[in-house]
């Protein structure tokens, strides 16, 4: 993990990180099939990170029309290149596990989320809450669990680097929710949307995926489905619900959704 230098572009950050890592360790000790699987999983991570960069590009455009403090807007601008940087790290990890170097295809710009609200201010806040307060917070607890699972210092260094950036990205959403320009009516409206936002994000995180292994190789920083669901629950229970309450939003609609989801996804 290295300091995030705002003056440094993602290639320079990548070169600096890669220079500090020991790529000689661990990959060659895996059987070839496991290496191929891990390479494919890191490649997927790279593609997802690149898509996320596109979302931050859209979010930055929206937040520039929201009463966003300059330092929060700067965080959002940094996130665009952070995610490209992550994509390159992940692609490098895929090569480490034997994947042939290949350029990452530029993703199709994802469609901006659309919420049936009249107020542009609330619409922009909901976009930030969806992508940062919810999705990036889920990413934080997920990567934290991956980090705890990873056994090599190479993996731990890479995951920590990504995790450190995702922490800043999550804060963007909480900063937006704390904006004094949001009225009580705005906050009530956002609170009512929380179940839908949680539903959309959690569905993506826990989507059935035939290409994802039921039991990822242990020690390589990937979680099985139950492990992912557990990190989702930890994010909701430990951060999102208390975060809403902390900022004076009614957390009950989100809590009711979370209780029902938890009973389905994590039966005792």
Alpha-carbon distance of 28 to 103, in angstroms, equals 23
Name residues whose C-beta falls within 8 Å of residue 67's C-beta, 6 or more positions apart in sequence: 121, 179, 181
Alpha-carbon distance of 174 to 93, in angstroms, equals 31
Shortest distance in whole angstroms from residue 5 CB to another protein: 12
Binding mask 44-73 for another protein (x = CB under 8 A): -------------------------x-xx-
Shortest distance in whole angstroms from residue 18 CB to another protein: 10
Number of residues that bind another protein (CB under 8 A): 55
Q: Which stretch binds another protein (CB under 8 A): 33-41, 100-108, 113-121, 230-238?
A: 230-238
Residue 219 binds another protein (CB under 8 A): no
Per the CB < 8 A criterion, the answer to whether 154 and 25 are in contact is yes
Q: Cβ of 62: how many Cβ atoms within 10 Å?
A: 20
Spatial CA neighbour of 193 closest among 136, 247, 244? 244
- Within 236-265, the residues that bind another protein by CB under 8 A are 236-239, 242-243, 245-248, 255, 258-259, 262
Q: Report phi then psi at 247, rounded to 5.
A: -100, 15
Residue from 39, 173, 221, 253 binding another protein (CB under 8 A): 173
Q: Which stretch binds another protein (CB under 8 A): 29-37, 39-47, 139-147, 212-220?
A: 139-147
């Amino acid at each position: 993990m290295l300091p995030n230098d705002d003056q440094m572009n993602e290639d320079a950050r990548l070169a600096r990180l890669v220079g500090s890592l020991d790529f000689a360790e661990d990959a060659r000790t895996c059987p070839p099939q496991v290496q191929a699987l891990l390479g494919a999983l890191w490649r997927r991570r790279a593609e997802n990170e690149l898509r996320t960069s596109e979302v931050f590009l859209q979010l930055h455009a929206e937040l520039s029309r929201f009463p966003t403090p300059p330092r929060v807007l700067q965080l959002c601008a940094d996130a665009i290149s952070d995610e490209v940087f992550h994509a390159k790290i992940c692609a490098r990890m895929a090569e480490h596990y034997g994947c042939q170097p290949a350029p990452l295809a530029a993703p199709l710009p994802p469609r901006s989320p659309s919420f049936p609200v009249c107020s542009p201010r609330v619409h922009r806040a909901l976009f930030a809450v969806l992508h940062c307060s919810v999705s990036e917070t889920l990413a934080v607890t997920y990567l934290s669990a991956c980090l705890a699972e990873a056994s090599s210092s190479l993996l731990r260094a890479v995951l920590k680097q990504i995790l450190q950036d995702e922490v800043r990205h999550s804060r963007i959403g909480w900063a937006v929710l704390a904006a004094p320009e949001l009225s009580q009516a705005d906050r009530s409206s956002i609170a009512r949307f929380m179940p839908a936002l949680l539903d959309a994000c959690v569905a993506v995180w826990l989507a059935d995926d035939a290409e994802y292994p039921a039991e990822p190789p242990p020690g390589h920083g990937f979680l099985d489905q139950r492990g992912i669901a557990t990190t989702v629950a930890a994010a909701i229970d430990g951060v999102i619900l208390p975060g809403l309450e902390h900022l004076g939003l009614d957390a009950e609609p989100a809590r009711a959704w979370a209780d029902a989801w938890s009973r389905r996804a994590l039966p005792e």
